[in-house]
Protein backbone atom coordinates (compact mmCIF):
# COMPACT_ATOMS: atom_id res chain seq x y z
CA UNK A 1 0.00 0.00 0.00
CA UNK A 2 1.40 3.37 -1.01
CA UNK A 3 1.21 5.67 2.03
CA UNK A 4 3.93 8.23 1.35
CA UNK A 5 5.83 9.88 -1.50
CA UNK A 6 8.87 11.78 -0.33
CA UNK A 7 7.87 13.57 2.86
CA UNK A 8 4.18 13.68 1.96
CA UNK A 9 1.66 11.31 3.46
CA UNK A 10 -1.13 9.96 1.26
CA UNK A 11 -4.60 9.13 2.52
CA UNK A 12 -8.18 10.30 2.87
CA UNK A 13 -7.23 12.04 6.12
CA UNK A 14 -4.37 13.92 4.47
CA UNK A 15 -4.47 16.79 1.96
CA UNK A 16 -4.73 15.72 -1.66
CA UNK A 17 -1.29 14.87 -3.05
CA UNK A 18 -1.12 17.27 -6.00
CA UNK A 19 1.43 16.69 -8.75
CA UNK A 20 2.25 19.54 -11.10
CA UNK A 21 3.11 17.89 -14.41
CA UNK A 22 5.81 19.89 -16.16
CA UNK A 23 5.55 17.52 -19.11
CA UNK A 24 6.60 19.13 -22.37
CA UNK A 25 5.72 22.64 -21.25
CA UNK A 26 9.37 23.54 -20.63
CA UNK A 27 9.93 23.46 -24.41
CA UNK A 28 13.35 21.88 -23.96
CA UNK A 29 14.65 24.77 -21.86
CA UNK A 30 16.04 24.04 -18.41
CA UNK A 31 15.44 27.67 -17.44
CA UNK A 32 11.78 27.26 -18.37
CA UNK A 33 11.63 24.00 -16.43
CA UNK A 34 13.02 25.70 -13.33
CA UNK A 35 10.52 28.54 -13.70
CA UNK A 36 7.75 25.94 -13.86
CA UNK A 37 9.01 24.37 -10.62
CA UNK A 38 8.89 27.80 -8.97
CA UNK A 39 5.39 28.37 -10.33
CA UNK A 40 4.23 24.98 -9.08
CA UNK A 41 5.56 25.73 -5.62
CA UNK A 42 3.70 29.04 -5.58
CA UNK A 43 0.47 27.20 -6.41
CA UNK A 44 0.83 24.97 -3.35
CA UNK A 45 1.44 21.59 -4.97
CA UNK A 46 2.96 18.56 -3.26
CA UNK A 47 5.25 17.51 -6.10
CA UNK A 48 6.44 18.22 -9.61
CA UNK A 49 6.82 15.65 -12.34
CA UNK A 50 9.08 15.39 -15.36
CA UNK A 51 8.69 13.37 -18.52
CA UNK A 52 12.07 11.81 -19.19
CA UNK A 53 12.66 11.26 -22.89
CA UNK A 54 15.81 9.67 -24.26
CA UNK A 55 16.90 9.92 -27.85
CA UNK A 56 15.27 7.27 -30.04
CA UNK A 57 13.78 5.57 -26.95
CA UNK A 58 10.12 6.37 -27.59
CA UNK A 59 8.94 6.37 -31.21
CA UNK A 60 9.78 4.87 -34.55
CA UNK A 61 11.64 7.06 -37.01
CA UNK A 62 8.71 6.47 -39.38
CA UNK A 63 6.05 7.78 -36.99
CA UNK A 64 4.42 11.08 -37.98
CA UNK A 65 3.37 13.44 -35.17
CA UNK A 66 -0.33 13.57 -34.27
CA UNK A 67 -2.17 16.62 -35.55
CA UNK A 68 -2.73 18.09 -32.08
CA UNK A 69 1.06 18.25 -31.53
CA UNK A 70 2.71 19.49 -34.67
CA UNK A 71 0.17 19.93 -37.41
CA UNK A 72 0.85 16.47 -38.77
CA UNK A 73 4.13 17.46 -40.42
CA UNK A 74 7.65 16.12 -39.94
CA UNK A 75 9.09 13.33 -37.83
CA UNK A 76 7.75 12.52 -34.38
CA UNK A 77 11.30 11.58 -33.35
CA UNK A 78 12.46 15.09 -34.14
CA UNK A 79 9.45 16.52 -32.40
CA UNK A 80 10.20 14.75 -29.12
CA UNK A 81 13.92 15.46 -29.32
CA UNK A 82 13.04 19.12 -28.79
CA UNK A 83 11.88 18.23 -25.28
CA UNK A 84 14.79 16.11 -24.05
CA UNK A 85 16.45 17.23 -20.82
CA UNK A 86 19.86 15.76 -20.05
CA UNK A 87 21.09 14.53 -16.68
CA UNK A 88 22.44 17.96 -15.73
CA UNK A 89 19.06 19.53 -16.41
CA UNK A 90 17.30 16.79 -14.42
CA UNK A 91 19.62 17.40 -11.47
CA UNK A 92 18.88 21.12 -11.64
CA UNK A 93 15.12 20.53 -11.63
CA UNK A 94 15.36 18.08 -8.72
CA UNK A 95 17.50 20.52 -6.73
CA UNK A 96 15.07 23.39 -7.37
CA UNK A 97 12.13 21.22 -6.31
CA UNK A 98 13.97 20.19 -3.13
CA UNK A 99 14.63 23.84 -2.33
CA UNK A 100 10.85 24.35 -2.27
CA UNK A 101 10.24 21.20 -0.20
CA UNK A 102 8.54 19.44 -3.11
CA UNK A 103 8.65 15.76 -3.97
CA UNK A 104 9.83 14.83 -7.46
CA UNK A 105 8.22 12.26 -9.74
CA UNK A 106 9.21 11.35 -13.27
CA UNK A 107 7.79 9.37 -16.14
CA UNK A 108 10.51 7.30 -17.82
CA UNK A 109 9.80 6.50 -21.46
CA UNK A 110 12.55 3.91 -21.71
CA UNK A 111 14.52 1.60 -19.46
CA UNK A 112 17.54 3.86 -20.02
CA UNK A 113 15.49 6.74 -18.66
CA UNK A 114 15.01 4.78 -15.41
CA UNK A 115 18.81 4.56 -15.15
CA UNK A 116 19.06 8.33 -15.50
CA UNK A 117 16.34 8.93 -12.93
CA UNK A 118 17.96 6.58 -10.45
CA UNK A 119 21.14 8.58 -10.82
CA UNK A 120 19.49 11.94 -10.14
CA UNK A 121 17.31 10.64 -7.30
CA UNK A 122 13.57 11.04 -7.77
CA UNK A 123 10.96 10.08 -5.17
CA UNK A 124 8.65 8.00 -7.35
CA UNK A 125 8.12 6.78 -10.88
CA UNK A 126 5.06 7.08 -13.02
CA UNK A 127 4.17 4.79 -15.89
CA UNK A 128 2.35 6.69 -18.61
CA UNK A 129 -1.00 5.43 -19.88
CA UNK A 130 0.53 4.57 -23.24
CA UNK A 131 3.03 2.24 -21.54
CA UNK A 132 0.62 0.26 -19.40
CA UNK A 133 1.30 -2.81 -21.56
CA UNK A 134 5.07 -2.15 -21.75
CA UNK A 135 5.92 -4.71 -19.11
CA UNK A 136 9.73 -4.53 -19.39
CA UNK A 137 9.53 -0.83 -18.51
CA UNK A 138 7.12 -1.54 -15.64
CA UNK A 139 9.45 -4.25 -14.36
CA UNK A 140 12.51 -2.00 -14.58
CA UNK A 141 10.82 0.83 -12.67
CA UNK A 142 9.44 -1.61 -10.09
CA UNK A 143 12.89 -3.03 -9.39
CA UNK A 144 14.10 0.35 -8.15
CA UNK A 145 12.07 -0.16 -4.98
CA UNK A 146 10.63 3.34 -5.24
CA UNK A 147 6.88 4.05 -5.24
CA UNK A 148 5.24 3.42 -8.59
CA UNK A 149 2.20 5.25 -9.96
CA UNK A 150 0.52 3.77 -13.03
CA UNK A 151 -1.76 5.86 -15.22
CA UNK A 152 -4.65 3.93 -16.76
CA UNK A 153 -5.86 5.94 -19.75
CA UNK A 154 -7.18 3.92 -22.72
CA UNK A 155 -7.08 0.75 -20.59
CA UNK A 156 -9.49 -2.02 -19.73
CA UNK A 157 -9.69 -3.29 -16.16
CA UNK A 158 -7.94 -6.46 -17.32
CA UNK A 159 -5.03 -4.48 -18.74
CA UNK A 160 -4.72 -2.55 -15.50
CA UNK A 161 -4.74 -5.84 -13.60
CA UNK A 162 -1.93 -7.21 -15.76
CA UNK A 163 0.17 -4.09 -15.16
CA UNK A 164 -0.42 -4.27 -11.42
CA UNK A 165 0.50 -7.95 -11.35
CA UNK A 166 3.65 -7.25 -13.37
CA UNK A 167 4.69 -4.45 -11.02
CA UNK A 168 4.09 -6.52 -7.91
CA UNK A 169 5.93 -9.52 -9.31
CA UNK A 170 8.93 -7.26 -10.00
CA UNK A 171 9.00 -6.04 -6.42
CA UNK A 172 6.76 -2.97 -6.36
CA UNK A 173 5.31 -2.80 -2.86
CA UNK A 174 4.20 0.84 -2.91
CA UNK A 175 1.78 1.19 -5.79
CA UNK A 176 -0.95 3.62 -6.83
CA UNK A 177 -3.19 4.01 -9.88
CA UNK A 178 -4.42 7.10 -11.66
CA UNK A 179 -7.68 7.14 -13.54
CA UNK A 180 -7.09 8.97 -16.79
CA UNK A 181 -9.02 9.70 -19.96
CA UNK A 182 -6.40 10.02 -22.68
CA UNK A 183 -8.11 12.72 -24.71
CA UNK A 184 -6.57 16.19 -24.90
CA UNK A 185 -8.70 17.84 -23.65
CA UNK A 186 -11.43 15.59 -22.28
CA UNK A 187 -14.87 16.79 -23.43
CA UNK A 188 -17.23 17.70 -20.61
CA UNK A 189 -19.29 14.69 -19.55
CA UNK A 190 -16.67 12.12 -20.54
CA UNK A 191 -14.55 12.21 -17.38
CA UNK A 192 -15.91 8.87 -16.05
CA UNK A 193 -14.71 9.75 -12.56
CA UNK A 194 -16.46 6.83 -10.87
CA UNK A 195 -13.69 4.66 -12.31
CA UNK A 196 -11.58 5.97 -9.41
CA UNK A 197 -13.71 3.94 -7.03
CA UNK A 198 -13.46 0.84 -9.19
CA UNK A 199 -9.67 1.05 -9.27
CA UNK A 200 -9.47 1.39 -5.49
CA UNK A 201 -11.98 -1.38 -4.86
CA UNK A 202 -10.57 -3.84 -7.38
CA UNK A 203 -6.85 -3.49 -6.66
CA UNK A 204 -6.84 -2.30 -3.05
CA UNK A 205 -4.39 0.52 -3.76
CA UNK A 206 -4.63 4.31 -3.51
CA UNK A 207 -6.15 5.82 -6.63
CA UNK A 208 -6.33 9.28 -8.07
CA UNK A 209 -6.86 11.31 -11.19
CA UNK A 210 -4.66 12.48 -14.02
CA UNK A 211 -6.81 15.42 -15.14
CA UNK A 212 -7.03 16.38 -18.80
CA UNK A 213 -10.22 18.40 -18.44
CA UNK A 214 -10.73 22.06 -19.22
CA UNK A 215 -12.11 23.27 -15.89
CA UNK A 216 -11.73 22.80 -12.14
CA UNK A 217 -14.76 20.54 -11.66
CA UNK A 218 -13.00 17.17 -11.68
CA UNK A 219 -10.68 17.64 -8.69
CA UNK A 220 -13.25 18.08 -5.89
CA UNK A 221 -15.41 15.36 -7.42
CA UNK A 222 -12.42 13.05 -7.55
CA UNK A 223 -11.74 13.70 -3.87
CA UNK A 224 -15.36 12.84 -3.07
CA UNK A 225 -14.87 9.56 -4.92
CA UNK A 226 -11.79 8.67 -2.88
CA UNK A 227 -8.90 10.14 -4.87
CA UNK A 228 -5.77 10.78 -2.84
CA UNK A 229 -3.51 11.79 -5.77
CA UNK A 230 -4.21 14.42 -8.40
CA UNK A 231 -2.07 15.31 -11.41
CA UNK A 232 -2.43 18.38 -13.58
CA UNK A 233 -0.16 19.98 -16.19
CA UNK A 234 1.15 23.41 -15.27
CA UNK A 235 2.11 26.26 -17.59
CA UNK A 236 3.44 29.75 -17.04
CA UNK A 237 1.25 32.81 -17.40
CA UNK A 238 1.39 34.35 -20.85
CA UNK A 239 2.71 31.23 -22.57
CA UNK A 240 1.12 28.86 -25.06
CA UNK A 241 2.99 25.57 -24.64
CA UNK A 242 2.33 22.35 -26.49
CA UNK A 243 0.10 21.00 -23.70
CA UNK A 244 -1.77 24.27 -23.11
CA UNK A 245 -5.18 22.69 -23.72
CA UNK A 246 -4.79 20.47 -20.66
CA UNK A 247 -2.68 22.80 -18.51
CA UNK A 248 -3.39 25.29 -15.73
CA UNK A 249 -1.62 28.48 -14.77
CA UNK A 250 -0.30 28.72 -11.20
CA UNK A 251 -3.36 30.71 -10.12
CA UNK A 252 -5.72 28.22 -11.73
CA UNK A 253 -3.91 25.30 -10.14
CA UNK A 254 -4.00 27.04 -6.74
CA UNK A 255 -7.78 27.41 -7.12
CA UNK A 256 -8.10 23.71 -7.96
CA UNK A 257 -6.07 22.79 -4.87
CA UNK A 258 -8.26 25.02 -2.70
CA UNK A 259 -11.44 23.47 -4.10
CA UNK A 260 -10.09 19.96 -3.55
CA UNK A 261 -9.13 20.69 0.06
CA UNK A 262 -12.53 22.31 0.65
CA UNK A 263 -14.16 19.12 -0.65
CA UNK A 264 -11.97 16.92 1.54
CA UNK A 265 -12.76 18.97 4.62
CA UNK A 266 -16.48 18.88 3.81
CA UNK A 267 -16.43 15.09 3.50
CA UNK A 268 -15.16 14.71 7.07
CA UNK A 269 -14.35 11.33 8.56
CA UNK A 270 -17.70 9.72 7.78
CA UNK A 271 -18.60 8.91 11.40
CA UNK A 272 -22.10 10.06 12.33
CA UNK A 273 -22.08 11.85 15.67
CA UNK A 274 -22.94 15.18 17.24
CA UNK A 275 -20.10 17.43 16.16
CA UNK A 276 -18.64 19.97 18.58
CA UNK A 277 -19.73 22.86 16.38
CA UNK A 278 -23.39 21.75 16.57
CA UNK A 279 -23.47 20.58 20.18
CA UNK A 280 -24.07 24.16 21.34
CA UNK A 281 -27.50 24.01 19.65
CA UNK A 282 -28.54 20.67 21.11
CA UNK A 283 -30.39 21.99 24.18
CA UNK A 284 -32.10 24.87 22.36
CA UNK A 285 -33.24 22.78 19.40
CA UNK A 286 -34.43 19.62 21.14
CA UNK A 287 -37.44 19.13 23.42
CA UNK A 288 -37.96 17.92 26.94
CA UNK A 289 -41.06 16.77 28.78
CA UNK A 290 -43.03 19.51 30.63
CA UNK A 291 -46.15 19.75 32.71
CA UNK A 292 -49.31 21.13 31.07
CA UNK A 293 -50.87 22.03 34.47
CA UNK A 294 -49.73 22.60 38.02
CA UNK A 295 -49.00 19.29 39.72
CA UNK A 296 -48.76 18.62 43.48
CA UNK A 297 -47.14 15.83 45.46
CA UNK A 298 -49.35 12.74 45.24
CA UNK A 299 -50.82 13.57 41.83
CA UNK A 300 -50.59 10.83 39.22
CA UNK A 301 -49.19 11.98 35.90
CA UNK A 302 -51.74 11.42 33.13
CA UNK A 303 -51.28 11.47 29.34
CA UNK A 304 -52.69 14.99 29.11
CA UNK A 305 -50.36 16.28 31.83
CA UNK A 306 -47.27 15.98 29.63
CA UNK A 307 -46.15 17.99 26.61
CA UNK A 308 -42.85 17.97 24.66
CA UNK A 309 -41.48 21.49 24.25
CA UNK A 310 -38.15 23.17 23.70
CA UNK A 311 -35.59 23.55 25.24
CA UNK A 312 -34.17 20.16 26.19
CA UNK A 313 -33.30 21.09 29.76
CA UNK A 314 -35.36 18.37 31.39
CA UNK A 315 -36.43 14.77 30.91
CA UNK A 316 -35.85 13.47 27.40
CA UNK A 317 -38.90 12.85 25.23
CA UNK A 318 -38.10 9.16 24.93
CA UNK A 319 -39.40 8.76 28.51
CA UNK A 320 -42.90 10.14 27.85
CA UNK A 321 -44.63 6.75 28.06
CA UNK A 322 -42.68 5.81 31.18
CA UNK A 323 -43.58 9.12 32.88
CA UNK A 324 -47.35 8.58 32.53
CA UNK A 325 -48.60 6.86 35.68
CA UNK A 326 -45.82 8.06 37.94
CA UNK A 327 -46.76 9.70 41.27
CA UNK A 328 -45.57 13.27 41.67
CA UNK A 329 -43.30 13.80 44.69
CA UNK A 330 -42.71 17.57 44.38
CA UNK A 331 -44.65 20.66 43.27
CA UNK A 332 -44.37 21.20 39.49
CA UNK A 333 -45.59 24.36 37.81
CA UNK A 334 -46.99 24.78 34.29
CA UNK A 335 -44.28 24.15 31.62
CA UNK A 336 -41.74 23.29 34.28
CA UNK A 337 -39.62 20.41 32.97
CA UNK A 338 -39.90 16.97 34.45
CA UNK A 339 -36.56 15.54 35.60
CA UNK A 340 -35.15 12.06 36.02
CA UNK A 341 -36.11 11.96 39.68
CA UNK A 342 -39.79 12.24 38.70
CA UNK A 343 -39.50 8.73 37.31
CA UNK A 344 -39.07 7.45 40.86
CA UNK A 345 -40.76 4.18 40.02
CA UNK A 346 -37.98 3.52 37.51
CA UNK A 347 -35.19 4.56 39.83
CA UNK A 348 -31.81 3.46 38.47
CA UNK A 349 -33.13 2.96 34.93
CA UNK A 350 -32.90 6.57 33.81
CA UNK A 351 -29.29 7.43 33.06
CA UNK A 352 -29.61 11.20 33.19
CA UNK A 353 -31.71 14.15 32.26
CA UNK A 354 -30.66 16.29 29.32
The domain spanning residue 327 has which CATH number? Answer: 3.90.1210.10
Average of per-residue pLDDT across 14-21:
97
Question: CA–CA separation, 21 vs 44, rounded Å?
Answer: 13
Residue 340 forms part of a structural domain: yes
Residue 114 forms part of a structural domain: yes
Which of 267, 296, 315 is where one domain is finished?
267
Q: Are residues 262 and 281 in the same domain?
A: no
Domain span at residue 213? Answer: 9-267
Q: Are residues 230 and 134 in the same domain?
A: yes
| Least confident interval from 25-39, 222-236, 340-354 | 340-354
Confidence of residue 115 (pLDDT cuts 50, 70, 90): very high
Q: Are residues 149 and 292 in the same domain?
A: no
Confidence of residue 347 (pLDDT cuts 50, 70, 90): very low
Confidence of residue 69 (pLDDT cuts 50, 70, 90): low
Question: CA–CA separation, 264 vs 103, rounded Å?
Answer: 21
Average of per-residue pLDDT across 114-132:
97
- CB count in 10 Å sphere of residue 167: 23
Q: Which pLDDT value is given to residue 272?
A: 97
Which of 211, 235, 267 is where one domain is finished?
267
Q: What are phi and psi of 333, to 5 degrees?
A: -90, 170
Q: Which pLDDT value is given to residue 67?
A: 58
Residue 351 forms part of a structural domain: no
Q: Are residues 223 and 331 in the same domain?
A: no
Q: Are 152 and 133 in contact (CB under 8 A)?
A: no
Taking the model in full, what pTM does it have?
A: 0.90
Report the domain count for the chain: 2
Question: CA–CA separation, 44 vs 237, rounded Å?
Answer: 16
Average of per-residue pLDDT across 66-76:
60
Q: Are residues 127 and 220 in the same domain?
A: yes
Residue 201 forms part of a structural domain: yes
Amino acid sequence: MLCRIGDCRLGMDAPLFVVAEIGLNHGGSVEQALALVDAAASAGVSAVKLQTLTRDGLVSALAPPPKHLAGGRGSLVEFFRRFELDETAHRAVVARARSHGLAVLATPFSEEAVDLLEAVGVDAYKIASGDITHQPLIERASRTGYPLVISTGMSSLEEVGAAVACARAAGAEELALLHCVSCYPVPAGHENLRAIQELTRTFDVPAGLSDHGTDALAAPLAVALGATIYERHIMLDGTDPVDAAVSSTPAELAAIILAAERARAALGDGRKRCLPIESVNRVASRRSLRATRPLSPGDVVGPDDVVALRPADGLDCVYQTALVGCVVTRPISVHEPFVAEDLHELSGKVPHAV
